[in-house]
Structure 1
Amino acid sequence: MGYHELTYEKADHIATITLDNPEKLNAMTGKMLESFSRAIEEVRRDDDVRVLVLTGRGRGFCTGADTEMLIALAMGKPVPGAVEEDGRRHRMEPIGWFGVEVSQLEKPTIAAINGPAVGGGFALAMACDLRVIATDATFGMASTHRYALPPEGGITYTLPRIVGLTKACELLMTGDLVDGAEAERIGLVNRAVPAEEVLNTAMEFARKIAGNGPIGMELTKRLIYRGLHETSIATQVEREDAALVHGFKTEDYEEGARAWWIEKRKPVFKGK
């Protein structure tokens, strides 16, 4: 089964999902979100994929729900295309489940924000581990002052953890949008670069991460996010110790030790 309104590519252990509804700045549709769920699952299951990059076709990253979806939601009707070819599980998922799908992916994720990312697009980007944005891109939630609606996509979970409670309240309660340069200044993103450099910069991050041992990367990501909720550093150190014990038993550790200590070369990790 193919994908609708997005493309999926894989090369050199990097998967790239490109939202592909450029006439509407990659606004989310039911068919896009159904395809997105399947693409994320493909990333999850494919052991050859070590990093995921998310981006948008054309001038935009993603401007949230399109008009047809908003009307359906407002009227309490099924979103066209969202569940036509899917089962009961997706029918029961809440609005904004895409944020959960991305944030709970075990593999590192990078948002290459090539243009406007507002509403659900903002939430999607903030669900990723790393973010590269165009300096002139608009970035924020906007639903509060445009539609008098609360935010979605898990942004009330991710945003306070990234920029702190005070700034998160400001951004979500005012609905103010920021440009890429300001997003970098306040810590919303890792890098702000000219639009034409966004994907290349994101791919530089991806290649660096993909060159590391994938087991070590997944263990590291798991530790970081579990640490956000841990109240005891001692407990977190015990988790790190358990992860180290697991790491020492891998073929990748043996390869790394042999390459750096004995053969004086760059290691080639296989995820075993």
Structure 2
Amino acid sequence: MVEYKTIKVQEREDGISIITFNRPNRLNAINFQFVEDLQDYLNTLENNLGIRVVILTGEGRAFCSGLDLKDGQVIFKKNVPEGLQKFEYLQNKDKIKRAVIVQKLISQLMITLRRIPQPVIAAIKGAAYGGGLTFAMAADIRIAGESAKFCNAFINIGLSGADCGSSYWLPRLIGFSRAAEFMYTGRVFNAQEADKIGFVSKVVPDDKVLYEALKIAKHILTKSPMGIRFTKDALNINVDASSLESATKLENRTQVICINADDALEGVFATLEKRESKYDKW
């Protein structure tokens, strides 16, 4: 297992991977090394058959406070600090070109979280601001601690309120009007409001957030590995389905594949025999 500088990864024997954002002194803010580390690990998951569920969480008192503005300002400086010279895109003399690459690299993390086949659970304590909010939105399931607070913070620092997929996910998760309010105003909403508007699945005490995420992850592990992967595929594709008919055509094809796999036989016999299913890892 690679030792990363800004994230901690625990790949458990049961098939759950816990990714912990590990810059607690900066409230787990996103810097260049963070982007490289997280993308590198996520890339390993796309064809990893042993890892079946992923949990995202943050070390310390925050989930992720968004872009590290201290490091981010390097994009607009002529001279790159020595510790950052290994990032070749920062060497470009044109600040616009540097910004384009950085923007693409950060937003690609959100796309990759949706592309990996494992369901992603966000276990959130403290601030989930800016990019931290979009990490939460990129997850399939969100569990909030009582201290959790959310902010579409991009609009508060002179940028567009639409960033890293926020204009795509937020209206789909909470409706257009509420999404527009948060994106235009940058207003902070707490865990209780997030629960009320359906942004999170549940709110629990902070010390129970990871426990609750693991509880859900273990429940998912009791299901067919193939069935779970095809379910995420269907959710990703059919959230933008042009019609009910096109959505059901995709579902029909995946069900025919699943029906003819050994998992379906095991699931049926386990139900008839009133026992727990015993699926192969893949």
| AA aligned opposite 2:124 | I
SS in 1 for 2:46: helix
Partner of 1:67: 69
Q: How many Å apart are 1:257 and its aligned residue?
A: 1.7
- Once the two structures are overlaid, the 10-residue window that deviates more, 69-78 or 161-170, is 69-78
Percent identical residues:
29
Change (3 A) 1:50 1:155: same
The yes-or-no answer on 1:191 pairing with 2:202 is yes
Partner of 1:254: 265
Q: How does 1:1-272 map to 2 (within 5 A)?
A: 1-11=2-12, 12-75=14-77, 80=84, 83=87, 93-145=104-156, 147-150=157-160, 151-261=162-272, 263-272=273-282
| AA aligned opposite 1:73 | I
Compute the TM-score of the two structures, normalised by the length of structure 2: 0.88
Q: Distance in 1 between matches of 2:129 and 2:148?
A: 10
Change (3 A) 1:91 1:119: closer
Q: Indicate conservation of the 8 Å contact 1:114/1:199, yes or no.
A: no
SS in 2 for 1:59: coil
Q: Distance in 2 between matches of 1:194 and 1:137?
A: 10
Q: Distance in 2 between matches of 1:37 and 1:31?
A: 10
Q: Indicate conservation of the 8 Å contact 1:134/1:198, yes or no.
A: yes
Count, aligned residues = 266
**Any gaps of 5 or more consecutive residues in structure 2?**
90-99
Q: Indicate conservation of the 8 Å contact 1:19/1:56, yes or no.
A: yes
Q: How many Å apart are 1:196 and its aligned residue?
A: 0.9
Change (3 A) 1:82 1:213: farther
Q: Distance in 1 between matches of 2:85 and 2:122?
A: 25
Q: How many Å apart are 1:94 and its aligned residue?
A: 4.5
Q: How many Å apart are 1:46 and its aligned residue?
A: 1.6
Q: Distance in 2 between matches of 1:76 and 1:111?
A: 37
SS in 2 for 1:252: helix
Change (3 A) 1:190 1:76: farther
1:118-175 CA-to-partner distances (Å, cap 9, x unmatched) read 0110111111110001122221112212x11124221111111111111111001100
Q: How many Å apart are 1:58 and its aligned residue?
A: 0.9
Q: Indicate conservation of the 8 Å contact 1:126/1:158, yes or no.
A: yes
SS in 2 for 1:160: helix
**Any gaps of 5 or more consecutive residues in structure 1?**
none
1:206-242 CA-to-partner distances (Å, cap 9, x unmatched) read 1111221111011112112222211221222221111
1:35-85 CA-to-partner distances (Å, cap 9, x unmatched) read 100111222222011110000001110001112332023448889378469
Compute the TM-score of the two structures, normalised by the length of structure 1: 0.91
Q: Distance in 2 between matches of 1:180 and 1:269?
A: 36
